[in-house]
Amino acid sequence: MKITSLFSRVNNLLQSVEIFASPSKKIPGRWQLFEYYIDEVNELKHIKREQLTSEKQNWNIEFATDKKYIHKTNIPVSIISNIENGSWHIAKNFITLIHPNDIDKNTEFQFAIVKGNLKLLKKDKLGKIEFFGFFKKLD
């Protein structure tokens, strides 16, 4: 009985395409921010879709298959607004946005793709959330 139960769980896991799809194959495309969290004076502030829309805030980022990215943003978050277009690199569950001229200005996010949405998480050196954004794919 335990073998049957274990087999069915493994079978269900194998049928889950998202788990085994290569992140580098799922990242390319155009993504649009639809919700985010940011730390403001030791308080996590939640910006929802409605607020983004009403305040005409956006962050669109395009990851190309040649490992280049371009982005456009007007959200008032210095971590994001200081990012310049460049190249991107994935290592495990981290994506690094590589600054074109200064390695010290690279920005690293922990990422996940869940149910077709991209999640980007940036923490400071102490592990406190600086930015946690949710993106939908536009392609």
Q: pLDDT tens digits, residue range 15-49?
A: 443 444 455 568 999 999 999 999 888 888 999 99
The H-or-E segment that residue 55 falls in is: none
Give the DSSP H/E element, type plus range, for residue 83: none
| Domain membership flag for residue 80 | yes
Over the stretch 82-131, which tens digit does the pLDDT of each residue have?
A: 899 999 999 989 999 999 999 999 999 999 999 999 999 999 888 889 99
Question: Domain limits at 74?
Answer: 24-137
Asked whether the predicted pLDDT for residue 13 surpasses 90, the reply is no
The DSSP letter of residue 100 is S
Total domains in the fold of the chain = 1
DSSP one-letter string for 24-54: HHHS-EEEEEEEEEEEETTEEEEE-HHHHHH
The reply to whether 11 falls in a domain is no
In a domain, 113, yes or no: yes
Please indicate, yes or no, whether the overall pTM of this predicted structure exceeds 0.95.
Answer: no
CA pair distance 4, 26, nearest whole angstrom: 33
Cα–Cα distance for residue pair 77/80, rounded to 1 Å: 6
Confidence at residue 26, expressed as pLDDT on a 0 to 100 scale:
85
Give the residue, 23 or 66, on which the prediction is more confident: 66
Residue 14 lies in a domain: no
CATH code at position 118: 2.40.128
